[in-house]
Amino acid sequence: MSRAQIKSQSTFTLSPPVSPAAPPVPSNDHLDRVSYLFGHPISHSLSPLLHDTIYSALDLNYAQHLYETRSLTACLALTHSPKFFGASVTMPHKVAIIPFLDMLTPEGEAIGAVNTIFWRNHPDGRRLLCGTNTDCIGIREAILQNVSKEAVSEMRGRGGMVIGGGGTCRAAVYTLKTYIGCDEVYLVNRDRSEVEQVVKECKTKGFGDGLRFVESVEEAERLLGPKVVVSAIPDIPPKSEAEIRTRNIVQTLLGKKEKGVILEMCYHPSPDTAIARIARTNEWQVIEGTEAMIWQGLEQEKVWLRKVSALPVDKVKQVIAAKLSKPSL
């Protein structure tokens, strides 16, 4: 644990006022413990299904509830309920919640965003609300669990690419630089200023060397092709000039002679995204984003349950696959 974020519990009151827009709290009377997913919008999320599958397999009377709200105050209030033991955190709270946490793990501190919060006891008796980022573990394991050791070895010292400029982009850069060992990482995004902010933050945290914004098709044509790619943008048809240029850059880089593996983080409403189709057409191995979602969720449970083995990986994969195979209503 890093001590960079230790502060007094008085940072926020134990029972902060709940915004009138906050949803009602689900009844937990029948449960022993409860976790939440904090964010907005999250109605499509598979997180509760994933975590409830784990609890059922481990014979735990636990559950995860969706708590869809933009009110961070309402979310923080729930962390003090007696049965609370942790929460998944998604947009718009991944960065905003950090000032209210007492400690960050090295991953949370480096990436500058958290997707998981939990309580720990300080040696002096205080309870510390802590944050970490398991997205980087999800991305790492999605790649390592689905490619050969030889392919992973070929990625080290070679180029990677991240498509996007949001919070997942930072986790992806951290993964490619820290875990996979990419020497250079191309950043492809419609907004140059977003990429500049990502590069600035990554350099400040010590993993920003070798990051390169690719701003034109002409530049992409001159570059060596990447070996590993993480796509972290919604599956929305490009409309603006910047979006069309970004799509053309992606097509150019994926169209290089040498192929690799791409992790398509977007899986809603379908994992068959435009980026995934471009990659398959160009004979890339495509890993669906559900893999990253599953592995980051399993890592969350290791944090919450302090259980490092015997998690029902195969069962979780079966349940998620079955859910996605059913047409949305």
CA dist., res. 125 & res. 103, Å (int): 15
Separation CA 199–CA 323 (nearest Å): 37
Measured CA to CA in angstroms, residue 282 lies from 153, 154, 254, 285 at distances of 22, 19, 7, 9
What is the predicted pLDDT for the residue at 325? 83
Identify the three-state secondary structure at position 141.
helix
Beta-carbon contacts of 56 under 8 Å, excluding residues fewer than 6 positions away, are: none
Hey, which residues are catalytic here? 94
pLDDT of residue 217: 98
Strands (E), the chain: 33-39, 62-68, 84-89, 103-104, 116-121, 127-132, 159-163, 184-188, 211-213, 228-231, 261-264, 285-288
Question: Which pTM value belongs to this model?
Answer: 0.89
Residue 328's pLDDT is: 60
Spatial CA neighbour of 172 closest among 284, 264, 50: 264
Q: Which amino acid is at 231?
A: S
Instruction: Record the tokens describing residue 12, joined without a space.
Output: 């926020």
9-133 CATH fold: Rossmann fold (3.40.50)
Q: What is the per-residue pLDDT for 70? A: 92
231 contacts 253 by C-beta, under 8 angstroms: no
CA atoms in the 13 A half-sphere facing the CB of 295: 18
Q: Walk along the chain (329 residues) in steps of 10 and give the mean pLDDT of each run.
A: 43 43 77 96 92 96 95 95 95 94 96 95 92 97 95 94 91 96 96 94 93 97 97 94 97 96 91 95 96 96 87 95 77
pLDDT of 274 reads: 96
Looking at residue 23, its amino acid is P
- CATH 3.40.50.720 residue spans of the chain: 137-288
Q: What is the structure's pLDDT at 21?
A: 63
Alpha helices (H) in 3-111, listed in sequence order = 47-57, 72-78, 106-111
Q: What is the pLDDT of residue 276?
A: 97
CATH class of 137-288: alpha beta
